[in-house]
Amino acid sequence: MRLLVCGGAGFIGSNFVRLRLAGGDEITVLDKLTYAGRRENLEDLDVRLVVGGIEDPGAVADALEGCDAIVNFAAETHVDRSIAEPDAFVTTHALGTYTLLEAARERSLRYVQVSTDEVYGSIETGSFTEESPLQPSSPYSATKAGADLLVASYHHTFGLEALICRGSNNYGPYQYPEKLIPLMVLNAMHGDKLPVYGDGMQVRNWIYVEDFGRGIGTVLERGEPGEVYNVGGPDEAPNLEVVTKIIEYTGADDSLIEYVTDRPGHDRRYSLGSEKVRALGWEAQVRFSAGLERTVDWYRENRAWWEPIRSGDYRAYYERQYGRALG
């Protein structure tokens, strides 16, 4: 396929690009290169990179030249940042998604929107299905839910071949260290404190990034237009268990754990049922313990990837967010 991958210089997007190139696709990436989007993530790959926002119709038209489908990963993705500064979330998720949908409609292109389990809100027991109501809690998840509704409307109203793929919490190589797992891995490696929000018993449903990428590929190739597909990981774990495993895999000390003020409006548990995408032939392949060990190894072996992040603007972000400097 000739794919336009929006947000392809970020964590999941760049892993997806790597996977699809290996399968023979031709790829153009459209990416604004925000703090989370990095040329380094695509350095070794044969792709055309267009630098621009998905909310810019000119950049979208340029990037779409010669493409026959769009997969949209482009987003602001950190819940804590959406609480501190929500404006970019509204622009990218609302205006950006609208601009891409218009471009897809004009050209009759297949369109996959990459979304999140967070649009369903928190669930105490059981798992969300694609029929569960949308009850987003944060500015991040609320604007992602808004984008999903707009995508659905373009199928319903204009017959656009649009599909939505909702993933659970991803982890793996190239994840920016503001997110739980890479943050804890790098802090543990440096002997920095491990900041656990609240009681640390919030549960997340972890999926290895390549499993999610294969799920999105399955939906792109075999999904039914107008449908939503959940792609959840095989394991759930409370945050404290995740941090304890990271301490074990890095050889750090338990005393680094520090309980800090909870995130406002913090969702307690996410859990996705993925029967519908399984019926298309997808299955998660990587269990959490094995994937986490692999991820710790990647960060150990790829110092050149994260060193510029840990010594740049990220330090100021960290100090604002956690009220203490990195060591």
Whose CA is closest to 206, among 129, 130, 276, 292?
292
Considering only the stretches 49-57, 232-240, 274-282, 290-298, report the one whose residues sit in contact with ligand NAD under the rule CB under 6 A: 49-57
In DSSP notation, 230-274 reads EE--SEEEEHHHHHHHHHHHHT--GGGEEEEPPPTT---B--B--
The conformational region for residue 235 under phi > 0 = left, psi -120 to 50 = alpha, else beta, is beta
Nearer to ligand TYD, 197 or 305 (CB): 197
Enumerate residues 6+ apart whose C-beta is below 8 A from 285: 208, 210, 211, 214
**Active site residues per annotation:** 117-118, 140
Q: Tokens 């218009």 label which residue? A: 102
Asked if residue 63 lies in contact with residue 93, where contact means CB atoms within 8 angstroms, the answer is no
Q: How far is the CB of 178 from ligand NAD (least distance, A)?
A: 9
Asked if residue 27 lies in contact with residue 1, where contact means CB atoms within 8 angstroms, the answer is no
**Partner from ligand TYD, ligand NAD, none contacting 79, C-beta within 5 to 8 A by type:** ligand TYD
Enumerate residues 6+ apart whose C-beta is below 8 A from 317: 178
Q: Report residue 186: phi and psi, to 5°.
A: -70, -40
**Partner from ligand TYD, ligand NAD, none contacting 137, C-beta within 5 to 8 A by type:** none
Nearer to ligand TYD, 51 or 134 (CB): 134
Within 55-74, the residues that bind ligand NAD by CB under 6 A are 55, 73-74
Instruction: Check binding of 33 to ligand NAD (CB under 6 A).
Output: yes
Instruction: Check binding of 288 to ligand NAD (CB under 6 A).
Output: no
Instruction: Check binding of 115 to ligand TYD (CB under 6 A).
Output: no
In angstroms, the CA 274 to CA 155 distance is: 22
Q: How far is the CB of 141 from ligand NAD (least distance, A)?
A: 9
Q: Which of 196, 237, 256, 257 binds ligand TYD (CB under 6 A)?
A: 196
Nearer to ligand TYD, 98 or 197 (CB): 197
Within 210-269, the residues that bind ligand TYD by CB under 6 A are 239, 263
Q: Report residue 168: phi and psi, to 5°.
A: -90, -175
Within 218-247, the residues that bind ligand NAD by CB under 6 A are none
Instruction: Check binding of 170 to ligand NAD (CB under 6 A).
Output: yes
Q: Which of 34, 99, 127, 202 binds ligand NAD (CB under 6 A)?
A: 34
Nearer to ligand TYD, 117 or 161 (CB): 117
Distance set, CA 239 to CA 79, 153, 169, 291 (Å): 16, 36, 12, 16
Whose CA is closest to 109, among 220, 28, 30, 215?
220
Pattern 71-100, ligand NAD, x by CB under 6 A: --xxxxx--------------x---x----
Which H helix or E strand runs over 157? helix 139-158
Crossing angle of helices 180-190 and 303-310, in 10° steps, is 90
Cα 320 from chain centre: 23
Considering only the stretches 81-89, 157-165, 191-199, 288-296, report the one whose residues sit in contact with ligand TYD under the rule CB under 6 A: 191-199
Considering only the stretches 33-41, 63-71, 177-185, 280-288, report the one whose residues sit in contact with ligand TYD under the rule CB under 6 A: 177-185
* Contacts with ligand TYD, residue ranges (CB under 6 A): 79, 169, 179-180, 183, 195-197, 202, 204, 239, 263
* Contacts with ligand NAD, residue ranges (CB under 6 A): 6-7, 9-13, 31-34, 36-37, 53-55, 73-77, 92, 96, 114, 116, 144, 167, 169-170, 176
